[in-house]
Amino acid sequence: MSALAGKTAIVTGASRGIGRGIAERLAGDGALVAVHYGHSEAAAHETVRAVEEAGGRAFAFHADLEKPDAVDTFYAALDAGLAERGAGPEFDILVNNAAASGSGRIHELTAEVFDRLFAINVKAPLFLVQRGLDRLRDGGRIVNVSSAATKRAFPESVTYVMTKGAVDTMTPALAKELAPRGITVNSVAPGYVATDMNAHRRTTPEESAALAAHSVLNRLGTPADVADVVGFLVSDDARWITGQCVDVSGGYKL
């Protein structure tokens, strides 16, 4: 039997990149996957199509996590999608992957960008957990996607790193709070992964090589590199791991 058979998983920001990789992995392990997207509807449906072509089950739903009513919109759309499939509203797995980047250096920062990044990267995952606690089954799993950049000085995107630092401190706090229900809460910290988020930094072979050199394995990560670790953390094999941040950076700046 598949490791996640009979379970329902939500992956935020799953239309592309790491989120798509996670959705495909969890569906491959047998879960019904709710593919959340903020803006890329066509890409989200591509994720669903890829899952279904591989024999899995998934559906897409929309919520703009920057908006003040983001959590209400999120759960209303999720409930509708689950109901269409005769499921829900309960679920077993929440992967907080959706994130915005691009804050720049301190002298480039604006209040608008600061507010946007904290709304999507910090406020949304925290309140998605809060609102979802009466739906998340006992023994469930929460995985937050952080960043290896929090472990080193990263002035190139100061606010983005601040948001991921908040994710790092939120994770063990939630792990302790939810432990009596058998719910584990962990995070993963990718390094440079070949996704749309950093495509502007690898427009030439030389730029790609420079990013790859941050890993001691001398390559860029792939969405599957991260998704496979998430797949482990949400499985029963990881039942004794909680409150941890797992580095999935290929040895970032060792």
Quote the tokens at residue 39. 């803006």
Please give the angle made by the CA atoms of 121, 125 and 129, to the nearest 5 degrees.
Answer: 170
Joined together, the tokens standing for residue 162 give: 């601040």
Of 37, 75, 160, 252, which is the active-site residue?
160
Q: Token pair for residue 78?
A: 């999720």
Which residue carries 């998605």 as its tokens?
Answer: 128
Question: What residues contact 77, with CB distance under 8 A and at least 6 apart?
Answer: 61, 62, 63
Which residues contact residue 168 at a Cβ distance below 8 angstroms, ignoring those fewer than 6 apart? 146, 150, 187, 189, 245
Angle, CA of 35, 36 and 38, to the nearest 5°: 145
Residue 160 bears catalytic tag = yes
For 150, the 3-state DSSP assignment is helix
- Residue 254's identity, in one-letter code, is L
The full DSSP string for 12-79 is TT-SSHHHHHHHHHHHHTT-EEEEEESS-HHHHHHHHHHHHHTT-EEEEEE--TTSTTHHHHHHHHHH
Catalytic residues: 160
